[in-house]
Structure 1
Amino acid sequence: MLDISTRKVAQIIVMSRELGRAEAELRAFIDALNEDEQAELVAVMWIGRGSFEVEDLQEAIQTAKQEATTPTADYLIGTPHLSDNLENGLEALGISATDEEDEVM
């Protein structure tokens, strides 16, 4: 399914909710992910906002890799409702980040 851990996505969800004070930390965290993890993160966000369906996960990942013309952190931080879209994407994939988010906080 996904190579990026639920814990990493949960960390990004929590940091994106505190963007005003955690932007530099969030940017560094996303930049530290490998290319596959970054593409999966974008794909999960796209699924969460309805740009792709769950059954199109692999296509979304490939599209994220092919269309990566700006740094992933810039793209995601500039996306409205990032935390909600990531949560919705995980839920659509049958993954709950709630427990992981609680641990991160």
Structure 2
Amino acid sequence: MLEISPAKVVHIIYQAREGDMAAAELHAFIRGLNDDEQAHLVALAWVGRGAFDAADFAEAVETAYQERMTPTDGYLMGMPHLAENLEAGLEAMGVDVSAVEDDFLRDH
């Protein structure tokens, strides 16, 4: 169902928590994602902040495609609580975030 790997989302969560120190790298990482990954990332953030329910994820993805008017990296980086929204979005979609985080930390 997700067109972006949970590992990539966790990478973004960790960079977002780093704040200004990782901002340039985070912008570049998000810009480097394909259109499907970017739309799914935005949809995850929306689910995480409660704008959509997990059951409506497909609708959130479609809305992300239709309403994209600015670069995704700028939109997401301007979102308050981006890391928390993405983490909550993954959890709502049934992803075991702590297991993905453990794998991410082990690899980095």
TM-score range with shorter-chain normalisation? Answer: over 0.9
| Aligned-residue offset at 1:3 | 1.6
Match of 1:81 in 2: 81
1:12-54 CA distance string (max 9 Å, x none): 0000000210000000000000000000000000000000011
Structure 1 match to 2:99 = 99
Percent of matched pairs sharing the same residue: 54
Distance, in Å, in 2 between the alignment partners of 1:103 and 1:54 is 24
- Structure 1: runs of 5+ lacking an equivalent: none
- Report the count of equivalent residues: 105
SS in 2 for 1:18: helix
AA aligned to 1:68 is R
Q: Please say if 1:48 is aligned against 2:48.
A: yes
- Unaligned runs of 5+ residues in structure 2 are none
TM-score by length of 1: 0.95
Structure 1 distance, partners of 2:20, 2:96, is 25
Counterpart AA for 1:95: V
> TM-score under structure 2 normalisation?
0.93
By how many angstroms is 1:70 displaced? 0.4
Instruction: Give, as a single letter, the amino acid of the residue that structure 1 aligns with 2:102.
Output: D
Aligned to 1:61: 61
C-alpha distance in 1, partners of 2:10/2:18? 13
CA distance in 2, matches of 1:54, 1:14: 22
Aligned counterpart, 1:20: 20
The list of structure 1 runs, each at least 4 consecutive aligned residues, that deviate by more than 4 angstroms after superposition, is none
